[in-house]
């Protein structure tokens, strides 16, 4: 039950591709691949007093750019892919065929444990179809992953 | 047990007459509120200072009126308990939703019902449903010592779901206590951090944001220690966490910090653990790890290497030629020269991966660069054409808690120009280059308040040195990474001022270069120094110089160091020094150190000193 909820919330799985980005405009979905420093927390802040700037968050919405974080108790329609720095890690893991980011992505999509190795290998083989350009955004990556999954007999059930 | 119980009841009967709060006792066998107010769990739930730190003695640490139901709650645990009983008892009380752990406590002590107690608390129940609650993990991002602000490390908590082994920890929750900072650029930043003028809050974020923050961006290794909290203890922890939402503490860098607050959470989960019984001036994260290990909270440990360590491991697996190729590929991702194509597919893949990691390493802390992004995806595209392979695992260093204690006391004896002396030394914290390296980062030193008192043959007791701060960071350069080493130190020391020994106040710093080859670390520093002593004609005497030296991290944790240093002051005087140090551990917390140095000033004036000390480490 919990897993299904998570899956839906994390990847906006049932969202139709033309729908407006959830969480408001500019809510991380526009994050480009290799976002760099702008997408990551400030260095000095993070160290001496282990601080955060702005408000401390108490839900799980933090880490996205410009998201509406009212109702901080859920992922608030924001996607794992749209969280800071995640897109780059997923791209790396897809290119090498495994990794923690890829595992987290499969979990958030609700991919069952027995399908995960297959999921990893299908994404690995389709790297070029998913990461079509260095200018690609989180939202486009999600669409491409859905397209790849929908063409696989085993994984089609996990696509939107 | 039965005897204690009946004693309690008879006491209750007697006390009920004396104290009005007894009339509120809920059931005949319920303990009276005056007793309950002193209960370890109640005190833990209120974050009561029972003498653990300097400030807020016999008060709650919480600096937020919203946390208290009684106007006297911050200073009176009994009044707060009475107000809580009154507020939480009604079945539909909204305050139950605000304080589920307090309700749990009262239900347990006063026999209140737990079933359906939170049915009306939609927000709390929705949140509670989401919190992973199978396991709590203590996380220690170790210091990255080329970055001074990370110096003592940090601790946070991770909450895992049941299938964390298969699903990985990326989606686990990180529970972090940190300051909320509004003026990062301000010069007051450090002062405010020390003086507690930043508010501290608990926050929860996905654990992968913490991995990125520490392991990827700051290049700090992370140590993860699963804790043995059982289901019941996890409930206490999580329910109490909810009570801390948007609750303000004051953040003090030294004692009331991230690590101290985590110990408090552990006391809520498992009262009477004795984690907070001792008084402390500081709560150093690595000592927090030790405390929890000694109190039997920790089951095992897991090492998560930083990106820098991963890159170093990858680089070490390549030949010199392949490393050169990787650098070339990072600049020209489409390079197809024969020196690349003749490699085996596995070697090609590893070289491409090194090229990609190198490129990202150089870009990660910068603003997005379109050119670098284009190269990055080209490398990934090429990489994706190869079959998946098992990655080389980085060598796992000794865990931080296996290192020596961070406080140090030493007794030494020696001779200065043939005249004997005895010396006592105390270091408040943390580690120097020569101390046993196990559990610490090699080539990194942070010392604060190093004090040396010397007794000489003339029966004089003199302050030889008061090193307020002494930080040195050897960040070694290799084929891929070219970091700048640096050092800074300041305080009081006896030195040859204008050709005669005197105690001068100084501040010294400089950038440097260092390399590593099989445990040997040669280095060089440029030095800038300002010095104050009445013997100088100017109030502040500036100087500049250069240092050359080498450290050798030998087998069995022996450390050898040799250095030469020249310093020239604005007005003609100069100082040269050659020094040799050998440190030999004789037990986990003990070492012997041999030192020799020769100093010269002016032409033909100089002296020699040799000494030996016994160093005892503790925490």
Instruction: Please state, in angstroms and rounded to a whole number, the distance separating the CA atoms of residues B183 and B198.
Output: 10
Min Cα distance A18 → chain B (Å) is 26
The reported pLDDT for the residue numbered A23 is 42
Q: How confident is the model at residue A44 (pLDDT cuts 50, 70, 90)?
A: low
Contact B171 A104 (CB under 8 A): yes
Nearest CA in chain B to A108: B171
Instruction: Please state, in angstroms and rounded to a whole number, the distance separating the CA atoms of residues B77 and B241.
Output: 19
The reported pLDDT for the residue numbered B255 is 83
Other C-beta atoms closer than 10 Å to the C-beta of A71 total 12
B307 CB neighbours in chain A (<8 A) are none
Backbone φ and ψ of B450, nearest 5°? -95, 120
Judged against a pLDDT cut of 80, whether residue A131 lies above it is answered with yes
The reported pLDDT for the residue numbered B76 is 96
A35 CB neighbours in chain B (<8 A) are 368
* Per-residue pLDDT tens digits for A12-32: 322 222 233 334 444 556 677
Q: What is the ipTM of this complex?
A: 0.83
Contact A44 B189 (CB under 8 A): yes
A71 CB neighbours in chain B (<8 A) are none
Please, are residues B470 and B509 in contact by the beta-carbon 8 Å criterion?
no
Strand partners, B523: B514, B549
Judged against a pLDDT cut of 70, whether residue B148 lies above it is answered with no
Most A CBs within 10 Å: which of B213, B375, B388, as the mutation test of the A interface? B213
Between the two ends of chain B, the Cα-to-Cα distance in Å is 37
* Per-residue pLDDT tens digits for B155-200: 999 999 998 888 899 989 999 888 877 665 556 666 777 777 788 8
Nearest CA in chain A to B362: A36
B218 CB neighbours in chain A (<8 A) are 43, 46-47
The reported pLDDT for the residue numbered B102 is 97
Domain boundaries, chain B: 2-130, 135-304, 318-383, 403-618
**What kind and span of H or E run contains B270?**
none
Q: How many residues does chain B have?
A: 619
Q: How confident is the model at residue B279 (pLDDT cuts 50, 70, 90)?
A: confident
Nearest to B251 among A2, A6, A49 (CB): A49
Please, are residues A138 and A29 in contact by the beta-carbon 8 Å criterion?
yes
Q: Which residues, 6+ apart, have CB-to-CB distance to B405 below 8 Å?
A: B589, B617, B618, B619
Instruction: Please state, in angstroms and rounded to a whole number, the distance separating the CA atoms of residues B330 and B216.
Output: 19
Please, are residues B157 and B138 in contact by the beta-carbon 8 Å criterion?
yes
Min Cα distance B418 → chain A (Å) is 46
Contact A96 B123 (CB under 8 A): no
Nearest to A47 among B149, B163, B209 (CB): B149
Contact A60 B377 (CB under 8 A): no
A48 CB neighbours in chain B (<8 A) are 149, 189-190, 193, 253
Instruction: Please state, in angstroms and rounded to a whole number, the distance separating the CA atoms of residues B334 and B376.
Output: 11
Q: Is any Cβ of chain B less than 8 angstroms from the Cβ of A153?
A: no
Contact B366 A37 (CB under 8 A): yes
3-state class (DSSP) for residue B515? strand
Please, are residues B312 and B483 in contact by the beta-carbon 8 Å criterion?
no
Contact B368 A53 (CB under 8 A): no
Q: Is any Cβ of chain B less than 8 angstroms from the Cβ of A92?
A: yes
* Per-residue pLDDT tens digits for B48-104: 998 888 888 889 999 999 999 999 999 999 999 999 999 999 999 999 999 999 999
Over residues B556-568, mean pLDDT: 96
Between the two ends of chain A, the Cα-to-Cα distance in Å is 18
Distances B44 to B237, B297, B457 between C-alpha atoms, Å: 11, 17, 55
**Mean pLDDT of the residues in chain B:** 89
Highest mean pLDDT pick, A66-75, B385-394, B508-517: B508-517
Min Cα distance A103 → chain B (Å) is 6
A133 CB neighbours in chain B (<8 A) are 377
Nearest CA in chain A to B124: A73
Annotation: CATH topology of B403-618: Porin (2.40.160)
A38 CB neighbours in chain B (<8 A) are 367-368
Q: How confident is the model at residue B1 (pLDDT cuts 50, 70, 90)?
A: very low
Domain boundaries, chain A: 86-158
Which is more confident, B543 or B496? Answer: B543
Q: Is B509 exposed, middle or buried (0-12, 13-18, 19+ CB in 10 A)?
A: middle
Distances B513 to B481, B483, B581 between C-alpha atoms, Å: 12, 8, 20
The reported pLDDT for the residue numbered B19 is 47
**What kind and span of H or E run contains B360?**
helix B345-363
* Per-residue pLDDT tens digits for B11-57: 544 444 444 444 444 555 778 899 999 999 999 999 999 888 888 88
Highest mean pLDDT pick, A46-50, B74-78, B246-250, B278-282: B74-78
Instruction: Please state, in angstroms and rounded to a whole number, the distance separating the CA atoms of residues B473 and B521.
Output: 12
Q: How confident is the model at residue B2 (pLDDT cuts 50, 70, 90)?
A: very low
Contact A73 B127 (CB under 8 A): yes
Nearest to A95 among B246, B374, B380 (CB): B380
């Amino acid at each position: 039950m919990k897993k299904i909820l998570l899956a839906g919330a994390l990847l906006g799985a049932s969202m139709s591709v033309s729908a407006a980005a959830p969480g408001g405009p500019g809510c991380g979905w526009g994050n480009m691949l290799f976002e760099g420093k702008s997408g990551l927390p400030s260095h000095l802040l993070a160290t001496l007093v282990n601080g955060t700037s702005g408000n401390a968050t108490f839900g799980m919405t933090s880490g996205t750019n410009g998201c509406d974080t009212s109702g901080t108790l859920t992922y608030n329609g924001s996607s794992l892919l749209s969280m800071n720095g995640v897109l780059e890690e997923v791209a790396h893991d897809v290119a090498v065929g495994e990794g923690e980011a890829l595992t987290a992505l499969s979990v958030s999509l609700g991919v069952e444990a027995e399908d995960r190795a297959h999921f990893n290998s299908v994404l690995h083989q389709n790297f070029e179809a998913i990461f079509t350009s260095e200018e690609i955004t989180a939202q486009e990556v999600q669409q491409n992953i859905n397209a790849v999954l929908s063409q696989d007999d085993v994984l089609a059930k996990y696509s939107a | 047990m039965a005897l204690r119980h009946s004693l309690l009841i008879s006491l209750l009967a007697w006390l009920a007459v004396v104290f009005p709060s007894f009339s509120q006792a809920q059931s005949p066998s319920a303990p009276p509120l005056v007793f309950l107010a002193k209960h370890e769990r109640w005190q833990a739930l209120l974050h009561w200072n029972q003498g653990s730190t300097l400030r807020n003695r016999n008060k709650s640490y919480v600096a937020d009126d919203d946390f208290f139901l009684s106007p006297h709650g911050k200073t009176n645990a009994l009044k707060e308990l009475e107000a809580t009983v009154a507020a939480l008892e009604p079945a539909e009380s909204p305050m139950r939703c605000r304080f589920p752990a307090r309700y749990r406590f009262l239900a347990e002590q006063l026999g209140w019902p737990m079933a359906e107690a939170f049915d009306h608390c939609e927000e709390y129940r929705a949140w509670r449903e989401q919190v992973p609650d199978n396991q709590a993990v203590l996380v220690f991002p170790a210091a990255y010592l080329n970055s001074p602000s990370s110096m003592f490390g940090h601790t946070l908590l991770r909450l895992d779901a049941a299938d964390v082994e298969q699903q990985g920890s990326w989606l686990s929750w990180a529970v972090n206590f940190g300051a909320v900072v509004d003026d990062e650029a301000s010069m007051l930043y450090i002062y405010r951090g020390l003086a507690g003028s930043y508010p501290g809050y608990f926050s929860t974020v996905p654990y992968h944001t913490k991995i990125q923050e520490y392991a990827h961006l700051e290049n700090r290794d992370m140590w993860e220690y699963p804790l043995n909290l059982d289901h019941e203890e996890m409930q206490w922890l999580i329910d109490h966490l909810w009570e801390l939402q948007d609750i303000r503490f004051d953040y003090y860098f030294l004692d009331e910090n991230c690590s101290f607050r985590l110990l408090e959470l552990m006391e809520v989960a498992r009262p009477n653990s004795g984690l907070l019984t001792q008084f402390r001036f500081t709560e150093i994260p690595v000592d927090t790890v030790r405390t929890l290990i000694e109190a039997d909270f920790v089951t095992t440990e897991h090492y998560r290497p930083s990106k820098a360590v991963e890159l170093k491991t990858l680089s070490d697996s390549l030949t010199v030629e392949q490393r050169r190729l990787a650098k070339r590929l990072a600049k020209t991702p489409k390079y197809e020269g024969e020196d690349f194509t003749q490699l085996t597919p596995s070697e090609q893949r590893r070289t491409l991966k090194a090229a990609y990691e190198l490129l990202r390493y150089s870009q990660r802390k910068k603003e997005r660069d379109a050119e670098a992004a284009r190269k990055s995806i080209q490398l990934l595209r090429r990489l994706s054409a190869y079959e998946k392979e098992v990655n080389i695992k980085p060598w796992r260093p000794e865990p931080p808690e296996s290192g020596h204690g961070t406080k140090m006391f030493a007794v030494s004896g020696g001779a200065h120009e043939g005249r004997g002396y005895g010396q006592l030394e105390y270091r408040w914290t943390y580690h120097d280059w020569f101390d046993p390296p196990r559990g610490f980062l090699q080539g990194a030193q942070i010392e604060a308040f190093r004090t040396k008192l010397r007794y000489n043959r003339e029966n004089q007791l003199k302050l030889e040195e008061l090193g307020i701060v002494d930080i040195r960071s050897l960040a070694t350069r290799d084929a891929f990474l070219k970091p700048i080493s640096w050092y800074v130190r300041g305080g009081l020391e006896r030195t040859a001022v204008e050709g005669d020994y005197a105690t001068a106040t100084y501040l010294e710093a400089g950038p440097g270069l260092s390399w590593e080859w099989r445990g040997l670390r040669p280095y060089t520093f440029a030095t800038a120094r300002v010095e104050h002593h009445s013997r100088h004609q100017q109030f502040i005497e500036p100087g500049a110089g250069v240092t050359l030296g080498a450290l050798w991290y030998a087998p069995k944790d022996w450390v050898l160091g040799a250095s030469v240093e020249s310093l020239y002051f604005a007005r003609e005087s100069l100082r040269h020094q050659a020094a040799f140090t050998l440190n030999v551990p004789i037990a986990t917390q003990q070492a012997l150190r041999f030192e020799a140095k020769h100093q010269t000033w002016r032409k033909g004036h100089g002296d020699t000193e040799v000494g030996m000390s016994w160093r005892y480490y503790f925490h």
